Structure 1
Amino acid sequence: MISSLKRFLIGRPLKSTELGEQRLNKKKALAILSSDALSSVAYGPEQILIVLATVGAAAFWYSLPIALGVLILLIALILSYRQIIFAYPHGGGAYMVSKNNLGITPGLISGGSLLVDYILTVAVSVSAGTDAITSAFPALHAHNVMIAVFFVLFITLLNLRGLTESATILAYPVYLFVVALFILIGVGGYTILTGQVSPELHTPMGTTVTGLSLFLLLRAFASGSSALTGVEAISNAIPNFKEPAPNNAAKTLIAMGSLLGILFSGIILLAYFYGIAPSEEVTVVSQIAEGVFGRNYVYYFIQGTTALILILAANTGYSAFPLLAVNLAKDKFIPRMFTIRGDRLGYSNGIIILGFLSILLIIAFKGRTEQLIPLYAVGVFIPFTLSQTGMMVKWFRERPKGWLPKLLINSTGALISFSVTLIFFLTKFNQVWPVLIFIPIMITLFKKIRKHYDEIAEQLRISTCEEATPIQGNIIIIPIAGITRVVENSLNYAKSLSPQQIIAVHISFDKEEQKKLEEKWGQWQTGVRLVSLHSLHRSIIQPLTKFIDSIERRTTGSNYQVTVLIPEFIPKKGWHHILHNQSSFLIRTVLLHRKNVVVATVPYHLKK
């Protein structure tokens, strides 16, 4: 039943030879890898206005020069990451660049920051999408968390079905959103140019604003820079592209940057000319759409596609997180389970972990994750800074042909990214301070995991100088609860091993029952010695382990192996397990931690 449900939800298993068919063309890649960056158009301009609103609507004209600064940063990042794509065509992005050029610790800072950032991407995007839905339908406000969790589960399931299938489905909403915003910007721009928008709605540019400080402007710029999160995702996911992967990835990056720049500029201009002020209940895009079209079908089309893109922006995290986790796992900094492909050739463990952690965040913050946006943004600007600095070191060290223009591009990117990171810490320290705690914790954890794997490799490595000690035979201990077919099956198996000594051990809680079992054992004539141990405190484990200890002491110095064979019957149906005690499981769990004891289970399968 479980297997059938899995097939229904996820689909049939794919052969490893079908991996090439799971790679993406540019159109699909643009949809699923750019959804995070494009969706930020829906909240990036709003974040600028929220900061400026603290000194009044008269300050809203400053959103225009601030937006220009964000666009300059966008251009620098796009050009910089285009170079990273060709320099590191196997993916890994900021993690690989930082690790190879700056060292292990900077690499882990980049990798760890991006892992957390992708979790925040899912939580923030889905919550923002849910807000867009409830802006159009206020009656749903009370169900924000439930709606957000449902969407995370849906996107997780979609990604478990495979990259190509999820991209095919998700491409339509992304392109519909782009079309919807182009319609909004086009019609809105036309109404402005034709004088249909009253100039009284906005403050003239150049108006002096009392109380406005450089600190506040820098804070607004940092908030607007949150629109650039997701720009790095394409450089992490190069292996997902069809060949030639680097060329296709670079073209997709340019297309994403162009769309992001146009849409971000358009929304900022419309918000200014229409005199839009941020509101807790209604998003800026919703207010612009209502101002341009009124509450008609076009408004609901824009709101619907905006909600979809915000929700599906989470898919950027699902595309980039598993691949980044693979690179960290290959370097032994996180568990190796992240390198395993699932039935549909995706990295299922990474997808599932990402979905689970995102749901925890949504529940913990009750679907109100706007306070996570600064943390989300600074988490990506740290890798931006380190990756651009790493590329500077690479060009200066290798000095290939034409390296000076490349050095200049990456230096510009590094300088601006570092400046934005500093601005975040200076202006939003009360929101981004957790970064200073979780980054050292993550690095320590990564290094402990690496140390663990190194120690295991050292212990498992076979040395030709060492001679293995031969095992002359087994002393086999069989814990029994009574005389049954299960025990008979285990005794027969034990007798087939040679040479050996076999001891059946029964733990009794009642003297009378103990005597009855000994009499039946003698009549059974198995030829196997029975040892009866009475437990005063009704414990099976303590008397058994003491007996095993005594056998181990007797075999010290000899080449005999102590083996515990555990008889266990297997019910025909899985749910039958809960109807029986789990003595065999308990014994096995305890004994597996003993160094010199081999533990094996002898199953007896029931037929009904």
Structure 2
Amino acid sequence: MLSILKRYLIGKPLKTTELGEQKLSNTKALAILSSDALSSVAYGPEQILIVLATVGAVAYWYSIPIGIGVLILLLALILSYRQIIFSYPHGGGAYVVSKQNLGVIPGLVAGGSLLVDYILTVAVSVSAGTDAITSAIPILHSHTVFIAVLLVIFITILNLRGLTESASILAYPVYLFVVALVIIIVVGLFNVITGNGPQVTHSPIGTTIPGGISLFLLLKAFSSGCSALTGVEAISNAIPNFKEPSERNAAKTLTMMGLILAVLFSGIMFLAYWYSITPNAEETVMSQLGSEIFGRNIIYYFIQGTTALILVLAANTGFSAFPLLAYNLASDKFMPRMYLLRGDRLGYSNGIITLGVASILLIIAFQGKTEQLIPLYAVGVFVPFTLSQTGMVIKWLREKPANWFPKMITNLVGALISALVSIIFLTTKFNQVWSILVFLPLIVYLFLTIRKHYEAVGDQLRLNNDIPDKIKGNIMIVPVAGITKVVERTMQYAQGIADEVYAVYISFDKESEQQMRDKWETWNPNVKLIVVHSEYREITRPLLKVIDQMEQKAHENGFEITVLIPQFITKKNWHNVLHNQSSLLLRAYLLHKRSVIVTTVPYRFKV
């Protein structure tokens, strides 16, 4: 039943030879890897206005120079990440750049930040998408968390179906969103030019300096607006997903994303200022802007619908980048090996499932409040921005290839601006982002602990020139609860492969003990029966004592000890609850004894 459901939801397995067919064209890659960055246009300008609203509408003109500052940073990041793409065409982005140029710890800080950031990408995108839905349909406000969780489950299943299939589905809403925003920008600007704009007056740019404005508040608004740049790094992480030549196609896609993002962000930022849009908790800035320009008609609902769609599906950027980053970390033994495995549909399904579960937990924990997640989300991506650009500066200074100086200057500017934004976030929104100072060291410590474990395991498994001690024989210990067919089958197997066989019976009273001795003597006198009386009706501890005694004898004679556990297998899974599963518990205990081999002889029921 589960297998049928899996096939229905995910699809039939793909052959390894079909991997090449899962590579992305530039059109699909732009949709699947740029949806996060493009969708941030829907909430980036709003975050600037939310900060400025604390002073009043008279301060809204500051959104224009702040928006220009965000565009300058976008240009620096696009140029910097183009250089990363060509320098590190195998992907890995900030993690690989930082690790190779700054060292392991900075690399792990960048990798850990991005892993958390991709979880936040899903949570923020879906929460923002849910806000767009509830803005258009206010009756759904009380079901925000439930809607968000359902959407994450949907996107997770979509990604488990494979990269190209999810990209094919995602391309339509992404490009529809771009069309919708172009419509709202063109019509809005036309209204402004023709004098058909709003009757309300907006504060003139540069002529009014309201009381309460400060450098601290402006820096806080700028850092909030920089949330529109999250997701820019995703393409550099996912270069292997592009069709050949992968690095050139990735660079072209990154440039196209930057151009689209710049146009949409500047357009929405200007219109929000010109139309004097005031952010509020019940209706997003995008919803208010659409309502002002078109009214609540079909065009408004088209804009809101596509906005909601891309905000939700922008989570797919996290689903595209998280598994690849986890793969790179696992390749370096900093994450579990399970993240190296491809699933039935040739995607890294363990990474996809991990991301889906983690983002659901985050949405539930924050009750789907986007504004509480965005600051942590943004600072989590600007730390890798800073480290990766700094790593590129070190690379150019060390290698000095042709035309290295302008490249170094580009990365230096990107590093300085990214570092400034990170510092601004930490100082102006410390109460919202302080947790990053706690969990980042913990994540790095976890990475190092995992690596230490794998190195220790490797040392123990590595062959050397030592001559191993020869095993002279095998002592077989068989726990028995009575004389049945499963015990009979187990004893036959044990006597066929062991030098010495011992049956161990744990009795709870003297009467059953004597009955067992008599039956055993009649049934199988060739195998010695060891009977242990358990006053407290325990099974495991008395058996372990017998095994400990046997270990001493085995060690003296160069023998190996094997505990052979009889276990019956029910025909239907639910039948397991009808039977005592003590053999499973016993095996779990024995597996931790270093000098004991544990094996099972199954006996399958026919009904």
TM bucket, shorter chain: over 0.9
Per mean C-alpha deviation after superposition, the further-off stretch among 343-352 and 570-579 is 570-579
Q: Which residue number corresponds to residue 76 of structure 1?
A: 76
Q: Which residue number corresponds to residue 241 of structure 2?
A: 240
Quote how far apart the aligned CAs of 1:23 are.
0.8
- CA–CA distance in structure 2, aligned partners of residues 244 and 576 of structure 1: 56
| Equivalent residue letter for 1:491 | M
| Equivalent residue letter for 1:86 | F
Conserved? CA contact 1:569–1:605, under 8 Å:
yes
Conserved? CA contact 1:561–1:597, under 8 Å:
yes
Unaligned runs of 5+ in 2: none
Q: Deviations over 1:213-254 (max 9, x none)?
A: 111111100000010000000000001111110011000000
Q: Which residue number corresponds to residue 567 of structure 2?
A: 568
| Equivalent residue letter for 2:526 | G
| Equivalent residue letter for 2:186 | G
Q: Deviations over 1:475-530 (max 9, x none)?
A: 100001111111111111112214x1011111121322222222222222362121
- CA–CA distance in structure 1, aligned partners of residues 524 and 205 of structure 2: 103
- CA–CA distance in structure 2, aligned partners of residues 200 and 127 of structure 1: 31
Q: Which residue number corresponds to residue 535 of structure 2?
A: 536
Q: Which residue number corresponds to residue 291 of structure 1?
A: 292
Q: Which residue number corresponds to residue 558 of structure 1?
A: 557
State the aligned residue count: 606
Conserved? CA contact 1:19–1:345, under 8 Å:
yes
Quote how far apart the aligned CAs of 1:555 are.
2.4
Q: Deviations over 1:529-581 (max 9, x none)?
A: 21111111010001100011111122233210111000000111122112212
Conserved? CA contact 1:215–1:427, under 8 Å:
yes
Q: Which residue number corresponds to residue 477 of structure 1?
A: 477
Conserved? CA contact 2:188–2:197, under 8 Å:
no
- CA–CA distance in structure 2, aligned partners of residues 321 and 168 of structure 1: 19
| Equivalent residue letter for 2:335 | I
Matched, 1:437 2:438: yes
Quote how far apart the aligned CAs of 1:604 are.
1.0
Q: How does 1:20-39 map to 2 (within 5 A)?
A: 20-39=20-39
| Equivalent residue letter for 2:562 | T
Per mean C-alpha deviation after superposition, the further-off stretch among 284-293 and 194-203 is 194-203
SS at match of 2:344: coil
- CA–CA distance in structure 2, aligned partners of residues 332 and 184 of structure 1: 49
Q: Which residue number corresponds to residue 5 of structure 1?
A: 5
SS at match of 2:53: helix
Q: How does 1:145-164 map to 2 (within 5 A)?
A: 145-164=145-164
Q: Deviations over 1:1-54 (max 9, x none)?
A: 111111111111111111111111111110010010001001000000000000
| Equivalent residue letter for 2:529 | L
Conserved? CA contact 1:35–1:312, under 8 Å:
yes
SS at match of 1:568: strand
Q: How does 1:226-375 map to 2 (within 5 A)?
A: 226-375=227-376
SS at match of 2:200: helix
Q: Which residue number corresponds to residue 591 of structure 1?
A: 590
| Equivalent residue letter for 2:585 | L
Q: TM-score, normalised by structure 1?
A: 0.98
Conserved? CA contact 1:199–1:273, under 8 Å:
no
Conserved? CA contact 1:114–1:379, under 8 Å:
yes
Quote how far apart the aligned CAs of 1:353 are.
0.6
- CA–CA distance in structure 2, aligned partners of residues 318 and 525 of structure 1: 61
Matched, 1:501 2:525: no
Q: Which residue number corresponds to residue 605 of structure 1?
A: 604
Q: Which residue number corresponds to residue 510 of structure 2?
A: 511
Q: Deviations over 1:328-377 (max 9, x none)?
A: 11111111111111111110111001111101101111111321211110
Per mean C-alpha deviation after superposition, the further-off stretch among 432-441 and 217-226 is 432-441
SS at match of 1:24: coil
Unaligned runs of 5+ in 1: none
Q: Which residue number corresponds to residue 53 of structure 1?
A: 53
SS at match of 1:421: helix
Q: Which residue number corresponds to residue 547 of structure 2?
A: 548
Quote how far apart the aligned CAs of 1:472 are.
1.2
Conserved? CA contact 1:362–1:369, under 8 Å:
no
SS at match of 2:91: coil
- CA–CA distance in structure 1, aligned partners of residues 525 and 291 of structure 2: 88
Quote how far apart the aligned CAs of 1:430 are.
1.4
SS at match of 2:58: helix
| Equivalent residue letter for 2:449 | K
Conserved? CA contact 2:237–2:321, under 8 Å:
yes
Q: Which residue number corresponds to residue 43 of structure 2?
A: 43
- CA–CA distance in structure 1, aligned partners of residues 507 and 3 of structure 2: 41
Q: Deviations over 1:173-224 (max 9, x none)?
A: 1111111111111111111111001463311112221211111111100000
SS at match of 1:201: coil
| Equivalent residue letter for 2:4 | S
SS at match of 2:378: helix
Conserved? CA contact 2:569–2:602, under 8 Å:
yes
Conserved? CA contact 1:23–1:164, under 8 Å:
yes
| Equivalent residue letter for 1:318 | F
Conserved? CA contact 2:10–2:161, under 8 Å:
yes
- CA–CA distance in structure 2, aligned partners of residues 191 and 122 of structure 1: 36
Conserved? CA contact 2:366–2:372, under 8 Å:
no
- CA–CA distance in structure 1, aligned partners of residues 59 and 330 of structure 2: 48
| Equivalent residue letter for 2:107 | G
SS at match of 1:200: coil
Q: Deviations over 1:137-178 (max 9, x none)?
A: 111111111100000011011111111111111111111111
Q: Which residue number corresponds to residue 124 of structure 2?
A: 124
| Equivalent residue letter for 1:570 | I
| Equivalent residue letter for 1:201 | T
SS at match of 2:535: coil
SS at match of 2:412: helix
The 1:9–1:388 alpha-carbon spacing in structure 2 relative to 1, beyond 3 Å, is: same
- CA–CA distance in structure 2, aligned partners of residues 508 and 157 of structure 1: 52
Conserved? CA contact 1:237–1:323, under 8 Å:
yes
Q: How does 1:159-174 map to 2 (within 5 A)?
A: 159-174=159-174
| Equivalent residue letter for 2:150 | F
- CA–CA distance in structure 1, aligned partners of residues 219 and 192 of structure 2: 29
Q: How does 1:134-149 map to 2 (within 5 A)?
A: 134-149=134-149
| Equivalent residue letter for 1:353 | T
| Equivalent residue letter for 1:349 | N
| Equivalent residue letter for 2:430 | F
- CA–CA distance in structure 2, aligned partners of residues 355 and 79 of structure 1: 32
Q: How does 1:463-474 map to 2 (within 5 A)?
A: 463-464=464-465, 466-474=466-474
Per mean C-alpha deviation after superposition, the further-off stretch among 204-213 and 336-345 is 204-213
Quote how far apart the aligned CAs of 1:459 are.
1.3
Q: Which residue number corresponds to residue 109 of structure 1?
A: 109
What percentage of aligned pairs have identical amino acids? 66
Conserved? CA contact 2:475–2:554, under 8 Å:
no
- CA–CA distance in structure 2, aligned partners of residues 284 and 581 of structure 1: 62
Q: TM-score, normalised by structure 2?
A: 0.99
SS at match of 1:477: strand
Conserved? CA contact 2:200–2:275, under 8 Å:
no
Matched, 1:423 2:418: no
- CA–CA distance in structure 2, aligned partners of residues 26 and 578 of structure 1: 53
| Equivalent residue letter for 2:267 | G
| Equivalent residue letter for 1:282 | E
- CA–CA distance in structure 1, aligned partners of residues 525 and 98 of structure 2: 68
Per mean C-alpha deviation after superposition, the further-off stretch among 148-157 and 569-578 is 569-578
| Equivalent residue letter for 1:595 | R
